[in-house]
Structure 1
Amino acid sequence: MEPLTFDYDYLHLRLEHGVFELFGFGRSELRVPLRWLGALVHYKKPDRPGELFIGTVRDPGAALYGTDRAAFRYSTSPSFRVPPGDEPLFRAYFTEVAALADRRVV
């Protein structure tokens, strides 16, 4: 099976063999088993770009995407903003990832 990848700006996301990796600016920033993965694009104001958080969740039964910020055990943000119009791109990718992990999205 080919890796499931997503590229956005200087960000490269990759899922292969049950391991999710986040690459930013040419280096690996996060590597986590799929069952602990959590992701969220958090918007403080609806008309402003949001911040992407990717990390590990405390409870593997938590939503994989749309994870509540309080559910994270550890998270990283690759230091760029996601415009509201681009959030569906992230949702589509993480929906595919969640299906492979038998987990849900919010």
Structure 2
Amino acid sequence: MDPLTFDYENLHLRVDQGVFELFDAGRSELRVPLRWLGALVHYKKTGKPGELFIGTVRDPDAPLYGTDPAAFRYSTSPAFRVPPADEPLFRAYFTEVARLADRRAV
């Protein structure tokens, strides 16, 4: 099976053989097994760009995408914002990642 990738601005996300990797502007930022992966685009204000959080969750039964911020054990946020119109792109990618990991997305 080929790696599942997603590119957005300077960000490159990749899943291969049960491992998620995040690269920001060519630098490796995070590498984590899918069973511990959590991701969320968090919006503080309606209509304003949100912030992408990706990291590890305390409970592997937590949703892979749409994770409650309190569920994270560790998270990193690449240095860019996600406009509300682009959130469905992230949701589609992480929903497919959740399917590969036999986990759910909310």
Where on the TM-score scale, by shorter chain, does this alignment land: which range?
A: over 0.9
Distance 1:96 1:22 in 2: 16
Name 2:60's counterpart in structure 1: 60
Residue type matched to 1:46 in 2?
A: T
Name 1:2's counterpart in structure 2: 2
Which residues of 2 match residues 21-40 of structure 1 at below 5 A? Answer: 21-40=21-40
**CA deviation profile, 1:14-57 (whole Å, cap 9, x unmatched):** 00000000000111000000100000000001110000000000
Which aligned runs of 4 or more in structure 1 are off by greater than 4 angstroms?
A: none
Residue type matched to 2:41 in 1?
A: V
Tell me how large the CA RMSD over aligned residues is. 0.3
2:89 counterpart of 1:89: yes
Distance 1:46 1:67 in 2: 19
Identity across the alignment (%): 83
Which residues of 2 match residues 7-26 of structure 1 at below 5 A? Answer: 7-26=7-26
TM-score for the superposition, normalised by structure 1: 0.99
